[in-house]
Each structure stands twice: as structure tokens, then as C-alpha cells.
Amino acid sequence: MQQASYPTVILGGGFVGLFTALHLSHQNYSQPIVLIEQRDRFSFKPLLYELLSGELHSEQVYPRYKELLAGSKVNFVQDSVQSINLVERSITVASGKSINYSKLVLALGGKTTYFDTHGAAEYAMPFTSGAEAIALRKHLRSRLQLAIQTPDPKYRQLLLTVAIIGAGPAGIELACTLADLLPIWYDEIGGNADEIRVVLVNRSRELLKGDVNSHLRCTVQRALKNRAIPVDFLFDAAVTAIKPEAIEYRQQEQTQILPAGTIAWTAGTAPNPLLMNLSISPEKRDKRGRLIVTPTLQLPDFPEVFAAGDCAVESENPQPSTAQVAYQQGRAIANNLKRLSEGKPTIPASVNLRGTLMKLGLNEGVANLFNKVQIKGQPGHLIREATYLELLPTPSHNLKITAEWLTDELFQRHRPFTYAQLGQTPWLSGIATVAAGMILATPLAWRAAQPMQFQQNLNWTGVPTLLDRLVKN
């Protein structure tokens, strides 16, 4: 069998892998497409906080791959990759099968890293997938239920304390969400919401240290303090161990203990361990072990292999690990695979950063458009959700979920809270804000994801010029 007749294999069903597969399918790619992923559901990571809180439903941000890929030309294989042989162009999966490929896309994503912290893997709860968001929700509900039944005030305080390790975007967004959400949940079962404590634990004194969102630090600090219950900070705290209901940490050269009934870990990720076993020399990796790729997202020594997302880095033009970057990388890889199948040379990937989005509580967020204009509060929340909904994996899924989201925003369906509880605007006065968010977010999302197509299709309308003026102002 000739190499050309082997399929194009995509390893990993995260943003890069899934969007590469979908773009290839939509482009009528001539070769068979195989997507290998061990999970049966896609986790839309930026919206996991909405899955945790109930603001969005599991079918919206945690859909099955079979649903997303229905009608496409992608062959979905639910299995775990055991080994990758780049020289022989073969993949071995847990079921024992060996799969040969003509082209390969490494989109394995990252793994939660605990930095060898004793007990962290056993007692801390990660927050990187739909399954983990659901598990955290169930755990928190059970802690609250146990607390309301506990007469011992000291133990009740432990149960009602949530410690979040890591003050990067994930830790901050989770802290803001829980500081609004837990008081509502506890109040519903008759508890005193003032007893709840959310603590953000960080090794340094800086929020968002070294992150693409670091310029939002002042906005974030205010948001953390202005929640239903203010988030407490535990800074300069080096976590040394995680115990069943406590964190051990070093601060000012002293070992201290923070009792906590829930410990969430958002302190970092590491490249997938499979990458370490590849026949790639150390000089072709960065200090974290990620694969160094060319501007076309190919491996220098294996041009038939593409890599992106948390697996890879282009040393001359490194990109942050965000959804908008992964989406554009997936599209770029698909375009280059299509070009190779037509005998054309590959072209450098073009990634355009159009700003950042953060969730800063229930019904509150910040949209930092093009890193020049900050839209905060409820409008920021609406722009954030609408922008991410525009990036949902398939047009039909996108349309269905966006319509459901808009209906929920207008009529407050399926909500675990009310605007009155959050001190937000009521239903009628919120309609204009929702509409404005949708109207603004749709062209912004299109422009962020497909800038050239956006310019070509809407140039005659004046919308691109209008957005440019908005950004300049």
C-alpha cells in the first residue's frame, strides 16, 4: 500500500484537532480523515464556568463528537494513543491497533501538572474539561449540603471554604464564578451565605503574572473584591502539599495550613507525555518539551507532521494558548494539508490576536477588544459569551446554541439564579444590552476568526471601517 493512500490522522480532539478535522471535511479534502480522541465529548474550555454554574447546558459546551461530526467526512475513533512512530509513520492505540498515516496532526493538548506537589493528584480537583466541571459542581453541592447539616461551626467553616490554587486566568475566572454562585446555592438550602469563603492561592504577589491578560490586572482585582462574597487572597504562598481537607504551604519561611473542604487546581499544564517519547532531538524542543515548528506549523525533520496548540511553539512567533489562536491554527493546518494534497507548497500560518475575554462573575465579564477597548460588566459578559458561541465547532450547532442562549438571556430560562440576587438589571432593561452584545459580538467574532473573509464580504457595508474607528477611539 502506498503512503499516499494512507489517511491523514489527527491526534487529539481539542480546539486544534477538531477544527482541523472540520475544516478539512468542509474543503472536500481528498484523503481519508481520522480523528483519534480518548474522550467521547468535546470540552469547549472557555465556557466551562458556564457549565459549572448552569448558565449554559452540557449539550451546549460539552457535546458529543459523534454529534459534532455527524454528516462530515471525519472518521472518529475513540481510543487512547499509546505510541507514535514518526519514522515509520504509524500510531498505536490502546485497543492494540496500529494505524499508518500519510500526514499527521499532533493536537494532543496539555495535561494538568502538579509540579510534584505531594497529594495534589489525589486531593485537588482540576478544571480542564466538561467532566471535571461537572465533578466539581457535584462536589461543591455535596459540601454545601453537609455544611447545612453540621452543628460544629469549625467543621462547617472548613466545608464552606474553597481554595483555588493558581492566579492565572483559569483560577481568577473560577474564583469570580464561585464567589457569586456559592452564596446563591447555599442560600437556596437555608444557609448563611456570609459563612462561605473563596481563597485564591498564588505563589507570587502578582495576578496574571506573565499572562497575555496581565494588562487586565486592575480590572480583575476590582472584580475579585466586588463579588457577592469578596475573594480572599493568599499570596507569596508556595504550596508544598495537598491533604484531604487542607493545603500546606510555605509563606515567609514558615509552614502553614489552610483548612478547605474543596481544593481546585488551576496552577498550570504541561505538554502531553507522549511528546517526550518522540524521536525529536532536544534542540528541536523548547524548555517545556514542546515541539518547535516552522511558520507553517510543520516539524522541521518531518514535514508530513503538523503540530499546534499546547503541543508546539514557533520560536520566532510564539502564541498564547487561547481558543482564538487554536481555532486559527486548526484552519491554517487544514489549508496547508489541502495545498499539499494539490501539489502546492505550504504557507505560513497567519494568527491574528483580536483581544482577550475573561469571565469575572455571574453575568459579568470583560471584553478587551483588540487590546485597546475594555468593555466591562454585563455588556462585557454578553460580548464574551456571544463571541465564544460564534466559535462553536459546526454551523448547525452554533446556530442552535446561539438561539438557545439568546432566549435564555431574554427570558431567564434554566437559570440557577436571578438578576435580583446578583443586583443586575431586570429583564426589560436588559434586552437592549443583550441585543447590543449580540450585534457587536457577531462581527467581532467573525473578524477575529476569519479576517480576510470578513473584509472581503463586508467591506462594501462600511462595517470594517466602523469597527476600526471604535478601536481607535
Whether residue 2 is predicted with pLDDT greater than 70 in this model: the reply is no
Whether residue 443 is predicted with pLDDT greater than 70 in this model: the reply is no
Tell me what pLDDT residue 408 has: 58
For the chain, percent of residues with pLDDT exceeding 90:
66
- Give residue 37's identity as a one-letter amino acid code: E
Tell me what pLDDT residue 29 has: 95
Average pLDDT value over all residues in the chain: 86
Of 352 and 235, the structure prediction assigns the larger pLDDT to: 235
Whether residue 370 is predicted with pLDDT greater than 90 in this model: the reply is no
Query: What are 254's three cell numbers?
Result: 514558615
228-252 pLDDT tens trace: 999 999 999 999 999 999 999 999 9
306-329 pLDDT tens trace: 999 999 999 888 898 888 899 899
Tell me what pLDDT residue 402 has: 54
Cα–Cα distance for residue pair 473/441, rounded to 1 Å: 18
Report, as an integer, the average pLDDT of 101-110: 96
Question: Is the separation of the CB atoms in 382 and 366 below 8 Å?
Answer: no
Cα–Cα distance for residue pair 222/234, rounded to 1 Å: 16
Tell me what pLDDT residue 394 has: 66
29-44 pLDDT tens trace: 999 999 999 999 999 9
Query: What are 18's three cell numbers?
Result: 477538531
Which of 113-127, 130-144, 163-177, 364-378 has the lowest average pLDDT? Answer: 364-378
Backbone torsions φ then ψ of 139, nearest 5 degrees: -65, -45
Tell me what pLDDT residue 353 has: 79
Whether residue 4 is predicted with pLDDT greater than 70 in this model: the reply is no
pTM: 0.85
H/E segment holding residue 92: strand 90-93
**Residue length of the chain:** 473
3-state secondary structure of 302: strand
Tell me what pLDDT residue 265 has: 98
Tell me what pLDDT residue 450 has: 56
Residues 6+ apart with CB under 8 A from 315: 286, 292
Tell me what pLDDT residue 14 has: 94
178-215 pLDDT tens trace: 999 999 999 999 999 999 999 999 999 989 988 878 88
Report, as an integer, the average pLDDT of 77-105: 97
Whether residue 362 is predicted with pLDDT greater than 90 in this model: the reply is yes
Whether residue 17 is predicted with pLDDT greater than 80 in this model: the reply is yes
